[in-house]
Amino acid sequence: MTTSARSYVWDVAIVGLGPAGRALAHRCTALGLSVASVDPLPQRSWTATYAAWEDELPDWLPRDAVASRVARPVVWTRRRHTIARTYCVLNAPVLQSMLTKDSGTVFTGRAVSLSPTCVHLTDGSALKARVVVDARGTGAGADLAQQTAYGVVVEPDLAARALAGEDAVFMDWRRDNGAPTSAAPSFLYGVPLARDKYLLEETCLVGHPPIPLSVLTSRLHHRLRARGVVVPPDSQVERVRFAVEPPHQARNSCSSGLVPFGSRAGLMHPGTGFSVATSLEYADVLARHLRDGSAEGLWPWRARVVHPLRSLGLRVLLNLEPEQVPEFFEHFFDLPIRLQTAYLSDRANPRGMLSAMRKMFLASSSDIRREILTSAFRREIR
């Protein structure tokens, strides 16, 4: 419901109604907290493709919030790998609809300033709350590492040709996209969105600066033509661009008394860009702590150990030479699935994270080992 009554002091005020903000509002309301949310366009539909590993999804998420499942997605580095882990594409309209129900009061407006207990809007009004949560995402800050992608939605027969009959391809690093060997690499991502449509997307995993969308568009069509696929001119298109790191101003939110959440709070994996499943899981954690008067639950000591290790992984990815990237991922997908899971999904498992990184380091060539060591002592991203 949207209302203009703003005289109430809410338990929680949430700024930003993407998946993280909606999930937190939903879970806070389920615990009996009064919730006010603010967004300039609260009715806009979610059109991005959200995906997750099935074992990351919380128990409270209904089964129909998942649009498709693939039991063993494939990766191509210098050879073929199979991931023994079920991968899901979420049904964005269903997810948005269920998170919108029973989620408090929504105000249409843009926040101009936030304090720990008040949100000031452009129309001069203010929302007062016991706790203010900033869930405005990362945006696409030019000074931050970013992920970019360009994709097309096609019918299953065209996807089958592009993916050589695989049910889904999580990453395909092969160089049939026309990119020079000296250029920053990109990979093909191909997943079913539903029974009758697939997304084929050329992706720059992380870049600083990222590969431009125009270049990714050219690479995707070159790759698909090389595989005998001509994309119909009226095909639906997806364009992706977002920062994989929180904006600099958000990093000081906790010290200022604000509570950040979602990708703005560092819940996005900086090496993959995945954040929705983590935000869904930790919405319950933060909601309980807001009810009990604390927001410490997002960052137990194990998560504080893992986070800089993930940031090191981002620096390594950004500093690798183009020809080293497929080798790097070859070693990663040779890891046991428990260590892949620790690296990709478990933000509070330092032992698993360190074990994965150690095995990766030992399996890597001397050049990649040198880059890992250099990145460990170099804070800046080149």
pLDDT, one tens digit per residue, over 44-97 is 999 999 999 999 999 999 999 999 999 999 999 999 999 999 999 999 999 999
Interatomic CA distance for residues 193 and 188, integer angstroms: 15
Q: CA of 142: how far to CAs of 135, 138, 244, in Å?
A: 20, 11, 11
What end-to-end distance do the CA atoms of the chain give, in Å?
Answer: 47
Helix (H) or strand (E) holding 114: strand 111-115
> Which of the four pLDDT bands, split at 50, 70 and 90, describes residue 296?
low
Cross-sheet strand order for the sheet of 146-154: 80-82, 74-76, 169-172, 187-194, 197-207, 146-154, 237-243
- Pairing label, strands 80-82, 74-76: antiparallel
Cβ neighbours for 356, distance < 8 A, ≥ 6 positions apart:
332, 335, 339, 340, 342, 343
Collapsing DSSP to helix, strand or coil, 261 comes out as: coil
- How much is the pTM? 0.92
- Pairing label, strands 111-115, 187-194: unpaired
120 close to 126: Cβ distance less than 8 angstroms: yes
pLDDT, residue 4, reads: 44
CATH 3.50.50.60 residue ranges for the chain: 9-138+245-298
Per-residue pLDDT, averaged over 330-355, amounts to 97
Token pair of 174 as six digits: 């092969």
pLDDT, one tens digit per residue, over 85-137 is 999 999 999 999 999 998 999 999 999 999 999 999 999 999 999 999 999 98
The answer to whether residue 359 scores a pLDDT higher than 50 is yes
The answer to whether residue 293 scores a pLDDT higher than 80 is no
Collapsing DSSP to helix, strand or coil, 94 comes out as: helix
Q: Looking at domain 9-138+245-298, does it have CATH number 3.50.50.60?
A: yes
Token pair of 191 as six digits: 């997943």
